Amino acid sequence: MSQKFAAVKGMNDLLPPQIETWQFLERTARELFGTWGYSEVRTPILEDTGLFVRSVGEVTDIVSKEMYTFTDKGDRSVTMRPENTAPAVRAYIEHGFAQQPVTRWYYLGPMFRYERMKTGRYRQFYQLGAEAYGSQDASQDVENIALAWHFLKAVGVQHVTLHLNSLGDAADRPKYLEALKAHFAPHLATFSDAAKDTFERNTMRLLDTKEEALKPLIESAPRVGDFLGEAAAKHFDEVKALLTTLGIPFVIDPKLVRGLDYYTRTTFEFIYEPPGGDNALGTAGTVCGGGRYDNLVKELGGPEKPAVGFAMGLDRLVLLLESLGKRPERRPLLFLATMDGELKAHAVKLVTELRTQGLFVDFDPRGGKIKRQVERASTLKARYFGVYGEQEHQSRTLKLKAMDLPDGDPNKEVQVGLDTLADWLRAR
């Protein structure tokens, strides 16, 4: 008896033709991030559970509810990475990079969070992230933000707004939390259980809750920007000024606290906000989130090294680009129909030679009726179609049909010699 299986809920197969969009994003990222001086790192999927508890924070949603954690056969508690900032910092310290003045890394790969699913939110999802270690200068924040901004532009995403905030330094935090608690405390009786829990465990996260009843209270809550120490306030001013110099528009969003505990000073998100109408991402409009985390390297046993970074949700970018009809096309330049017998070997040899010269040429291994091979060529949207028959073999020329042109067009059919075929195709 056979048995059929389906993918685990929240985990997607990435398949053709959408994979073209994925590869386009990945190609563009590698090129652009390299140009900006960021080198790729690949850390393991599994990490010591303690790494995330310590860095992302015990009372965050990610750590308290969403991690894929299990005990391995060696009796260690391991976790499938819910994010890549902590693993990157772990590797940065472990392999001595923290001894260097400035290090810039990027990564691209799957992350895992046991989240409630909806459009743009999955349990295995893909992040493209960039982290810069070693400088607390505002120019490092802005360089990192500008990288995200230019990447989004380069891949053709529009209508994303940069939301910006500063959470101040760790030393500024207690005063702010005190003010926040005092603001919410008198209303606790009216809170949902979830909101009460957030109040107790991670008060700042209340600013990010979506509960309607809380909205007026959140609007009137004290703003973290009013509690910045002198150094953090100056730094934030510099970040804003430099963004303006670079022509990168932003809005100040005093409620932008982010869902991870390691942030200090700058926090930012790029949010998809199309004018009116359809939003392909529904409520999962945040395509990129990041910020500064000046204490994490030290917290994880390294030297004093300030850092800043971001991660983008690639699944969301793919959804967006697909909704805009921006999938790059991959079409064979030439589809070569084959005849049976010895001629087929010659045709396959020609296809192989053209392919080794970097040309996308295809054929149907099943061969068969020419009519069916034409259909196959048009399904694949081949640009040119040719038949490798006895006459072509003898004369060493191919008659090619331009599949895109209508019958009767003077350029519909061309004769090309086999010796010049590669050059001819390359020029198309």
Over the window 245 to 284, marking each residue x when it contacts ligand HAM by CB under 6 A and - when it does not, the resulting string is --------------xx------------------------
290 scored as a contact of ligand HAM (CB under 6 A): yes
Are the beta carbons of 162 and 270 closer than 8 angstroms?
yes
Of 225 and 259, which has the nearer Cβ to ligand HAM? 259
Are the beta carbons of 64 and 261 closer than 8 angstroms?
no
Over the window 304 to 333, marking each residue x when it contacts ligand HAM by CB under 6 A and - when it does not, the resulting string is -----xxxxx-xx-----------------
| Exposure letters 333-349 (e unless 16+ CB within 10 A, then b) | bbbbbbbeeebeebbee
What CA–CA distance (Å, rounded) separates 422 from 71? 56
Of 306 and 309, which has the nearer Cβ to ligand HAM? 309
Beta strands 124-133 and 103-112 are antiparallel
Of 311 and 337, which has the nearer Cβ to ligand HAM? 311
> What is the enclosing helix (H) or strand (E) of 191?
none
Of 129 and 332, which has the nearer Cβ to ligand HAM? 129
What CA–CA distance (Å, rounded) separates 251 from 388? 62
129 scored as a contact of ligand HAM (CB under 6 A): yes
294 scored as a contact of ligand HAM (CB under 6 A): no
User: Which residue lies nearest ligand HAM, judged by its C-beta?
Assistant: 313
Q: What residues contact 300, with CB distance under 8 A and at least 6 apart?
A: 51, 54, 55, 86, 89, 90, 93
CA-based end-to-end distance of the chain: 52
Are the beta carbons of 284 and 119 closer than 8 angstroms?
yes
Q: Which of 63, 157, 281, 288 binds ligand HAM (CB under 6 A)?
A: 288
Q: Which of 54, 81, 90, 113 binds ligand HAM (CB under 6 A)?
A: 113
Q: Which of 125, 176, 191, 388 binds ligand HAM (CB under 6 A)?
A: 125
376 scored as a contact of ligand HAM (CB under 6 A): no
Give residues in contact with ligand HAM (CB under 6 A): 83, 85, 113, 115, 120-122, 125, 127, 129, 131, 259-260, 286-291, 309-313, 315-316
